[in-house]
Amino acid sequence: MLQAEMERMGQKAKEAAYKLGSVSTKVKNEALMAMAKALEERMELILTANEQDMEAGRAKGLSNALLDRLLLTPDRIREMAEGLRALVALPDPVGEVVKMWTRPNGLQIGKMRVPLGVIGIIYEARPNVTVDAAGLCLKAGNAVILRGGSEAFNSNKAITDVISAAATSAGIPEGAIQLVETTDREAARIMMRMNGYIDVLIPRGGAGLIQTVVENATVPVLETGVGNCHVYVDEDADLDMATRIVVNAKTQRPAVCNAMETLLVHEKIAEEFLPKVAAALKEKGVELRGCQKTREILPDCNPATEEDWKTEYLDLILAIRVVEGFEQAIEHIHNYGTKHTEAIVTNNYQRARAFLQRVDAAAVFVNASTRFTDGYQFGFGAEIGISTQKLHARGPMGLEELTTVKYIIFGDGQIRT
Amino acid sequence: MLQAEMERMGQKAKEAAYKLGSVSTKVKNEALMAMAKALEERMELILTANEQDMEAGRAKGLSNALLDRLLLTPDRIREMAEGLRALVALPDPVGEVVKMWTRPNGLQIGKMRVPLGVIGIIYEARPNVTVDAAGLCLKAGNAVILRGGSEAFNSNKAITDVISAAATSAGIPEGAIQLVETTDREAARIMMRMNGYIDVLIPRGGAGLIQTVVENATVPVLETGVGNCHVYVDEDADLDMATRIVVNAKTQRPAVCNAMETLLVHEKIAEEFLPKVAAALKEKGVELRGCQKTREILPDCNPATEEDWKTEYLDLILAIRVVEGFEQAIEHIHNYGTKHTEAIVTNNYQRARAFLQRVDAAAVFVNASTRFTDGYQFGFGAEIGISTQKLHARGPMGLEELTTVKYIIFGDGQIRT
Nearest to B214 among A218, A368, A408 (CB): A218
Instruction: At B140, give phi and psi (nearest 5°).
Output: -85, 10
CATH for B160: 3.40.605.10
The distance of A240 to chain B (nearest Cα, Å) reads 9
Tell me the pLDDT band of A382, cut-offs 50, 70 and 90.
Answer: confident
- In A267-357 the beta strands, taken as DSSP E runs, fall at 287-290, 302-303, 317-323, 341-345
Question: Residue A29 gets which letter from DSSP?
Answer: H
Determine contact, residues B158/B126, Cβ cutoff 8 Å. Answer: no
> What region, left, alpha or beta, does residue A182 occupy, with left being phi > 0 and alpha being psi -120 to 50 degrees?
beta
Residue A387, in any domain of the structure = no
Which residues in chain A touch residue B379, judged by CB atoms under 8 angstroms apart?
A: 101, 103, 109
∠ CA(B132), CA(B135), CA(B139), 5° rounding? 140
Neighbours of B69 (CB within 10 A): 18
Contact partners, residue B372, CB within 8 Å, separation at least 6:
A107, A409, A411, A414, A416, B258, B363, B365, B378
Tell me if B415 and A107 make a contact (CB, 8 A cut-off).
Answer: no
Which residues in chain B touch residue A408, judged by CB atoms under 8 angstroms apart?
A: 356, 364
pLDDT in the model for residue B21: 87
Residue A144, in any domain of the structure = yes
Determine contact, residues A143/A137, Cβ cutoff 8 Å. Answer: yes
- Quote the CA–CA distance of B82 and A415 in Å, as a whole number: 26
Tell me if A372 and B248 make a contact (CB, 8 A cut-off).
Answer: no
Nearest to A406 among B361, B391, B405 (CB): B361
Determine contact, residues B360/A19, Cβ cutoff 8 Å. Answer: no
Percentage of chain B beyond pLDDT 70 is 100
Nearest to A390 among B363, B365, B404 (CB): B404
Which residues in chain A touch residue B395, judged by CB atoms under 8 angstroms apart?
A: 405-407
Residue B34, in any domain of the structure = yes
Tell me if A368 and B22 make a contact (CB, 8 A cut-off).
Answer: no
The interface pTM score, or ipTM, of the predicted complex is 0.92
- Quote the CA–CA distance of B219 and B213 in Å, as a whole number: 10
- Quote the CA–CA distance of A305 and B399 in Å, as a whole number: 42
pLDDT in the model for residue A179: 98
CA distances A364 to A111, A369, A372, Å, are: 29, 10, 10
Nearest to A409 among B195, B223, B368 (CB): B368
Instruction: At B259, give phi and psi (nearest 5°).
Output: -75, 150
- End-to-end CA distance of chain B: give it in Å, rounded: 52
pLDDT digits (tens, 9 = 90+) for B370-398: 999 999 999 998 899 999 889 999 999 99
Residue A385, in any domain of the structure = no
- What residues 183-212 of chain A have any CB closer than 8 A to a CB of chain B? 195, 199-200
Instruction: At B168, give phi and psi (nearest 5°).
Output: -60, -45
3-class SS of residue A324: coil
- What residues 295-334 of chain A have any CB closer than 8 A to a CB of chain B? 334
With a cut of 90, say whether residue B126 has pLDDT above it: no
- Quote the CA–CA distance of B360 and B330 in Å, as a whole number: 10
- Quote the CA–CA distance of A158 and A167 in Å, as a whole number: 14
Which among B403, B409, B410 is the top mutation candidate for probing chain A, defined by the most A β-carbons within 10 Å of its own β-carbon?
A: B409
Tell me the pLDDT band of A73, cut-offs 50, 70 and 90.
Answer: very high
The residue among B307, B332, B308 whose CA lies nearest residue B318 is B308
Burial B176-206 (b: 16+ CB within 10 A, else e): bbbbbeeeeeebbbbbbbbbebbbbbbbbbe
CA distances B186 to A121, A313, B155, Å, are: 33, 37, 21
Determine contact, residues A162/A34, Cβ cutoff 8 Å. Answer: no
- Quote the CA–CA distance of A42 and A198 in Å, as a whole number: 30
- Quote the CA–CA distance of B40 and B32 in Å, as a whole number: 13
pLDDT digits (tens, 9 = 90+) for A2-45: 999 999 999 999 999 999 988 999 999 999 999 999 999 999 99
Determine contact, residues A407/A107, Cβ cutoff 8 Å. Answer: no
The distance of B78 to chain A (nearest Cα, Å) reads 22
Strands A403-414 and A108-115: antiparallel
Chain centroid to Cα A210, Å, comes to 12
CATH for A288: 3.40.309.10
Instruction: At A246, give phi and psi (nearest 5°).
Output: -65, -45
The residue among B340, B411, B321, B373 whose CA lies nearest residue B105 is B411
- What residues 87-116 of chain A have any CB closer than 8 A to a CB of chain B? 101, 103, 107, 109, 114, 116
Q: Where are the alpha helices (DSSP H) in B90-235?
A: 128-139, 153-169, 185-192, 207-216
pLDDT in the model for residue A352: 98
The distance of B91 to chain A (nearest Cα, Å) reads 17
Q: Are residues A194 and A241 in the same domain?
A: no
Number of Cα atoms under 13 Å in the Cβ half of residue B337? 27
Q: Are residues A85 and A111 in the same domain?
A: yes
Q: Are residues A211 and A255 in the same domain?
A: no
pLDDT in the model for residue A410: 98
Which among A331, A406, A412, A417 is the top mutation candidate for probing chain B, defined by the most B β-carbons within 10 Å of its own β-carbon?
A: A406
Determine contact, residues A139/A90, Cβ cutoff 8 Å. Answer: yes
Question: Residue B42 gets which letter from DSSP?
Answer: T
- What residues 345-364 of chain B have any CB closer than 8 A to a CB of chain A? 356-358, 360-364
CA distances B404 to A307, B28, B313, Å, are: 30, 18, 35
- Quote the CA–CA distance of A308 and A300 in Å, as a whole number: 17
pLDDT in the model for residue A203: 94
For residue B369, the chain A residue with the least C-alpha distance is A415
pLDDT in the model for residue B270: 98
For residue B212, the chain A residue with the least C-alpha distance is A218
Question: Residue B257 gets which letter from DSSP?
Answer: T
- Quote the CA–CA distance of A11 and A5 in Å, as a whole number: 10
Say which residue, A20 or B207, is predicted with more confidence: A20
CA distances A336 to A80, A331, A339, B196, B404, Å, are: 36, 9, 9, 12, 21
For residue B404, the chain A residue with the least C-alpha distance is A390
- Quote the CA–CA distance of A64 and A129 in Å, as a whole number: 19
CA distances B23 to A208, A350, A358, B112, B154, Å, are: 37, 17, 11, 16, 30
Q: pTM for the full model?
A: 0.92
Residue A244, in any domain of the structure = yes
Which residues in chain B touch residue A372, judged by CB atoms under 8 angstroms apart?
A: 107, 409, 411, 414, 416
Range of the domain at A406: 2-223+393-410
Q: Are residues B108 and B257 in the same domain?
A: no
Residue type, position B41, single letter: E
Q: Are residues A21 and A167 in the same domain?
A: yes
Percentage of chain B beyond pLDDT 90 is 92
pLDDT in the model for residue A170: 98
Residue A382, in any domain of the structure = no
The distance of A147 to chain B (nearest Cα, Å) reads 21
The residue among A163, A157, A127, A142 whose CA lies nearest residue A34 is A163
User: Considering Cα of A215, then A220, then A226, then A227, what sign does the dihedral take?
Assistant: positive
Give the mean pLDDT of chain A. 96
- Give me the numbers of helices (H) and strands (E) for chain B, helices first please: 15, 16
Q: Are residues B236 and B301 in the same domain?
A: yes
Tell me the pLDDT band of B147, cut-offs 50, 70 and 90.
Answer: very high
Residue type, position B344, single letter: I
The residue among B228, B265, B259 whose CA lies nearest residue B243 is B265
Q: Are residues A211 and A242 in the same domain?
A: no
pLDDT digits (tens, 9 = 90+) for A303-331: 999 999 999 999 999 999 999 999 999 99
Strands B143-147 and B177-179: parallel
Give the mean pLDDT of chain B. 96
Mean pLDDT throughout B23-44?
Answer: 98
- Quote the CA–CA distance of B159 and B152 in Å, as a whole number: 11
Mean pLDDT throughout B256-275?
Answer: 97
- Quote the CA–CA distance of A98 and A356 in Å, as a whole number: 27
> Which range, of A110-119, A331-340, B220-229, averages the lowest pLDDT?
B220-229
The distance of A77 to chain B (nearest Cα, Å) reads 23
pLDDT in the model for residue A381: 86
Q: How many domains does chain A have?
A: 2
The distance of B311 to chain A (nearest Cα, Å) reads 16
Q: Are residues B139 and B239 in the same domain?
A: no
Q: Are residues A128 and A204 in the same domain?
A: yes
- Quote the CA–CA distance of A345 and A365 in Å, as a whole number: 8
* B284 touches A at CB < 8 Å: no
Q: Are residues B151 and B82 in the same domain?
A: yes
Nearest to A392 among B252, B392, B410 (CB): B392
Q: Are residues A160 and A29 in the same domain?
A: yes
pLDDT in the model for residue A206: 83
- What residues 328-347 of chain A have any CB closer than 8 A to a CB of chain B? 334
pLDDT digits (tens, 9 = 90+) for B325-374: 999 999 999 999 999 999 999 999 999 999 999 999 999 999 999 999 99
Write out the H or E segment, with its range, that includes residue A397.
Answer: strand A395-397
Nearest to B392 among A223, A365, A391 (CB): A391
pLDDT in the model for residue A125: 74
Q: Are residues B139 and B245 in the same domain?
A: no
Tell me the pLDDT band of B304, cut-offs 50, 70 and 90.
Answer: very high
pLDDT in the model for residue B274: 98
Which residues in chain B touch residue A249, judged by CB atoms under 8 angstroms apart?
A: 415
With a cut of 80, say whether residue B125 has pLDDT above it: no
Residue type, position A242, single letter: A
Nearest to A408 among B109, B356, B367 (CB): B356
Mean pLDDT throughout B135-142?
Answer: 97
pLDDT in the model for residue B331: 96
With a cut of 90, say whether residue A226 has pLDDT above it: no
Tell me if B360 and A245 make a contact (CB, 8 A cut-off).
Answer: no
Which among B102, B232, B372, B383 is the top mutation candidate for probing chain A, defined by the most A β-carbons within 10 Å of its own β-carbon?
A: B372
Residue A114, in any domain of the structure = yes
Residue B175, in any domain of the structure = yes
Tell me the pLDDT band of A168, cut-offs 50, 70 and 90.
Answer: very high
